[in-house]
Chains A and B, each alone.
Chain A
Amino acid sequence: MKLWQKVGSLVLRLFLALFTAGLVLYFSGYSPLTAYKAMIWGAISNWDGIALSLVQATPLIFTGLAVAFANNCGVFNIGAEGQLYLGAMAAAVIGAFIPPLPHFFHLFLALLGGAIFGGLWASIAAWLKVKAEANEVIITIMLNSIGILLCSYLANYVFKAPGPVAQTPEVHASAALNRIGTGTQLSTALLVGLGLIIIIWVVLYRTKLGYEVRIVGANPRAAATAGINVAGMTFVALFISGALAGLGGAGQVLGLHSRFIDGFSPGYGFDGIAVAILGGNSPIGVLFAALLFGLLRAGGMVLDRTTKIPVDFVLIIQAAIILFIAAPNILKFLKGGLKSARTNTKQ
């Protein structure tokens, strides 16, 4: 398929998804037009809305990249949420408990800590997969609960800041990611994310490591035949994936909350799965998908403030988008009915 055909088909699918979600809203007794207008107007018409969209998109860039990277190696990492928490906790502890250091150095340490702990958390799944042939989907999903609760314990007891809230002390200024502009919550975590999009693109498409990762993902038997260490690649890919998710958590801590707050993520790790699928597991695709989801989330917040339409509508839109994107034959199906879709799958 030519590029413009791909883009065209994508845009068409998005519109169909929005239309479908609109129908649901319509039959629930609300006006879809009002809803979309409020969302879009709120999310992109002014600097505040755009900033809000970008703030919402930032963690999704990281988790989307994380899931996409593992997918490129044929490993389904559902554990980005847990890895995000571990990374956030590591960054919070390094940022708050190590005395102030030169700014970039402290920040670098905190980010590195976030990446390493996220990566190590994912490596548990990799280790069990390689050594015990455990299914990574089951393991990563279990590790989510363990990781989130472990961090909750740490925030409630070990690293708890004085006061009633389960959170760690504020990180030192030398470890913080600066805000972009004034009066917004937007931080340079976004720039780190954009940088990672480029880096991961280069890694995947221009390095030997990325080449081998992708070969393993596409055909592990051919990879083994070509002398690639399949188990080793699985390990590396899951570590990098976990590190990316961990960096996402670190970015939230160092750029937005200035500390680890118990239960701070509304499911960024899980949305990362949708973002990766929507973005076709490519870094550039992930960027656009994360921006779209950020926009929807921001729009949902505006919707909540300005109309009576329940914010859950955003979830319906997300679900519809995933459905329309994840089912590649759906356009053919709608065009020619079930029969032609079937013949086309046969080919």
Chain B
Amino acid sequence: MEALRMKGIIKDFGSTRALDQADLVVKKGEIHSLLGENGAGKTTLMKILYGMYEPNQGEIFINGNKVVINSPKEAMNLGINMVFQHFMLIPNLSVTENIILGQEETKLGVLSYKEARKKVMQLSEQLGLKVRPDMRVADIPVGEKQRVEILKALYRGADLLILDEPTAVLTPQEVKELFKVLKALKENGKTIIIITHKLKETMAVADNVTVLRNGKTQGIIAASEATPEILAQMMVGRSVILEAVKEDVNKGRVLLETKDLTLGKKLKKINLQVQQGQILGIAGVEGNGQTELLETLLGLETATSGSIYLNNTDVTQKAVKERLKIGLGFIAEDRNDRGLVNGFSIWQNSVLGYQDRYQKNGILNMQKIYVASRQIVSNYQVKVENIFSKTSSLSGGNAQKLLVGRVFYHDPEVLIIAHPTRGVDVGAIEYLHNEILQLRKKGKAILLVSADLDEVRQLSDRIAVLYEGKIVMEGNTSDFTEEALGIYMAGGDLVNREVVLS
């Protein structure tokens, strides 16, 4: 039986068409994956279902009945609930208070907290959603917060649950936990839609997959019949090589080294070495000191103690500019924040950080800049009208290619690359990974920080795990299983869990 049918949905934002005749059919009691690249229209489609956007055209049927949903409240009344990527919890309230928020039961105006707590506990046990009802939300880990969000939705009587990129903030273990929960919910008759762009997860948990591309439904396929290759092709519209081929490369001298690098309480005695032709991956759950490590290595922050060596030069006290001059290339973790200047044109962004090379006596050599900019655009496949357009007109993937291209083009010896493929589509990921491996082959020393564990594992020669500002484990990539990495990322150690490392 159909829980949901969305038919011919069209949604325009100004002159851009976000959804173009999108269809979605979800059976009752299944886990349905809504798969697509960034900007394919997944979240827009779900926000229409949740009453947050009004479609320009199209029909929605819930359990076979045609409905019009004008607000999230109306959606909730129809048993639809959505858990957003950014949690909507109130940190200072307890788990129970958060769950019953807006659905409080009162006796003569007094909140019957005990009964509410009991009800929450019942629901929690019944579905295997482990939460601690009296904890303050501010004090619980991300995975538990997500379970609170899901419980909140169920408490409101949700039959159809929409989860927007639910695994984006979780460790591999937490992802497994989540999938268990989702399967338990399914057995309890709930219908679940997960919005995702991750192929592996889709395969692991979904019954059926609907793929969106450019606002159009590309097709629906049973997960059992799908392979990552098929799904990737549906998402991108051409065949994609998912796993970059890593050749053996001879390692050379150590070009980047830190000794007991410490930054206040954020980084604790970090010791790292990166050789020529080597990629060192930093794995870790976000917020464990990655940003601080990046900023200290670049020179935006000055180390409290310890030292940093670039090509055997002590740069601990040196300014950003000098480090760039020595041959450091830096790809910022957020291209819209520290990476690109969005009100500015492509050519202006093409030389940022390298403007010294394009001037004589303080006067910019415009011809030289234009030439460099055109080369970056063509070498790194940035799709633009011309170099005079603004970077804000670029899609995520193209903006990232420009950022990466800018640094690669200026030929640094040491690269610090943060989240190179965040918010980038599958096709561009393939391309960017190959470019990074090319640099490795050329003998560059590369430090890679990424929240995407698969990316770290695929590209790195060695992996160091960052947890609460400390490197808790370091070793060759082949030494780590995905599970072991997950345990270290969560601050555990393998001895107690009887997992043995080679």
Same complex for A and B? Answer: yes
Q: Is B148 an interface residue (CB 8 A)?
A: no
A219 surroundings in chain B (CB, below 8 A)? 340-343
Q: Is the CB of A225 within 8 A of B320?
A: yes
Q: Is the CB of A218 within 8 A of B341?
A: yes
User: How many A-B contacts at CB < 8 Å in the complex?
Assistant: 72
A347 surroundings in chain B (CB, below 8 A)? 13-14
Q: Is the CB of B300 within 8 A of A225?
A: yes
Q: Is the CB of A222 within 8 A of B330?
A: no
B300 surroundings in chain A (CB, below 8 A)? 224-225
Q: Is A301 an interface residue (CB 8 A)?
A: no
A207, A222, A229, A343: the one contacting B341 at CB < 8 Å is A222
Question: Quick one: CB contact mask for B471-489 with A, threshold 8 Å, 1 for yes?
Answer: 0000000000000000000
Closest to B366 in A: A206
Q: Is the CB of A215 within 8 A of B366?
A: no
Q: Is A131 an interface residue (CB 8 A)?
A: no
A227 surroundings in chain B (CB, below 8 A)? 319-324, 353
Question: Quick one: CB contact mask for A202-215 with B, threshold 8 Å, 1 for yes?
Answer: 00001111011011
Q: Is the CB of B353 within 8 A of A225?
A: yes
Q: Is A221 an interface residue (CB 8 A)?
A: yes
A215, A218, A225: the one contacting B298 at CB < 8 Å is A225
A214 surroundings in chain B (CB, below 8 A)? 344
Q: How far is the CB of A258 from chain B (nearest CB, A)?
A: 36
CA distance A48 to B359 in the complex (A): 46
Q: Is the CB of B337 within 8 A of A222?
A: yes
Q: How far is the CB of B298 from chain A (nearest CB, A)?
A: 7
A207 surroundings in chain B (CB, below 8 A)? 359, 362-364
User: Interface residues of B toward A: which range?
Assistant: 20 to 34
Closest to B338 in A: A225
CA distance A212 to B356 in the complex (A): 10
Closest to A221 in B: B338
CA distance A229 to B358 in the complex (A): 18
CA distance A53 to B359 in the complex (A): 40
B321 surroundings in chain A (CB, below 8 A)? 227-229
Q: How far is the CB of B76 from chain A (nearest CB, A)?
A: 24
CA distance A347 to B355 in the complex (A): 33
Chief secondary structure at chain A's binding surface: helix
B363 surroundings in chain A (CB, below 8 A)? 206-208
Q: Is B206 an interface residue (CB 8 A)?
A: no
Q: Is the CB of B330 within 8 A of A225?
A: yes
Q: Is A45 an interface residue (CB 8 A)?
A: no
Closest to B321 in A: A227
A208 surroundings in chain B (CB, below 8 A)? 355-356, 358-359, 362-364
Chief secondary structure at chain B's binding surface: mixed
Question: Quick one: CB contact mask for B385-398 with A, threshold 8 Å, 1 for yes?
Answer: 00000000000000
Q: How far is the CB of A71 from chain B (nearest CB, A)?
A: 13
Q: Is A344 an interface residue (CB 8 A)?
A: yes
In B357-389, the 8 Å CB interface with A consists of: 358-359, 362-364, 366
A222 surroundings in chain B (CB, below 8 A)? 332, 337-341, 352
Q: How far is the CB of A203 from chain B (nearest CB, A)?
A: 9
Q: Is A226 an interface residue (CB 8 A)?
A: yes
CA distance A225 to B353 in the complex (A): 8
CA distance A212 to B320 in the complex (A): 14
In A297-347, the 8 Å CB interface with B consists of: 343-344, 347
Q: Is the CB of A344 within 8 A of B338?
A: no
B14, B320, B339, B366: the one contacting A224 at CB < 8 Å is B320
Q: Is B307 an interface residue (CB 8 A)?
A: no
Q: Is the CB of A343 within 8 A of B362?
A: no
Q: Is the CB of B341 within 8 A of A215?
A: yes
Q: Is the CB of B352 within 8 A of A226?
A: yes
Q: Is B316 an interface residue (CB 8 A)?
A: no
CA distance A227 to B355 in the complex (A): 10
Q: Is the CB of B364 within 8 A of A211?
A: yes
Closest to A214 in B: B344
CA distance A237 to B300 in the complex (A): 22
Q: Is B348 an interface residue (CB 8 A)?
A: yes
In A188-218, the 8 Å CB interface with B consists of: 206-209, 211-212, 214-215, 218
B340 surroundings in chain A (CB, below 8 A)? 219, 222
Closest 3 CB pairs of A and B: A227-B321, A226-B353, A227-B320
Could you list which residues of chain A lie within 8 angstroms of chain B, going by C-beta atoms?
Answer: 206-209, 211-212, 214-215, 218-219, 221-229, 343-344, 347
* 26 A-B residue pairings within 8 Å (CB atoms): A207-B363, A208-B355, A208-B358, A208-B363, A211-B348, A215-B341, A215-B344, A215-B348, A218-B344, A219-B340, A219-B343, A222-B337, A222-B352, A224-B300, A224-B338, A225-B320, A225-B330, A225-B332, A225-B338, A226-B320, A226-B324, A226-B352, A226-B353, A227-B323, A344-B14, A347-B14
15 further contact pairs, Cβ within 8 A, besides A207-B359, A227-B321, A229-B321: A208-B355, A215-B341, A218-B343, A219-B341, A221-B337, A222-B352, A223-B341, A225-B300, A225-B320, A225-B330, A225-B338, A227-B322, A228-B321, A343-B14, A347-B14
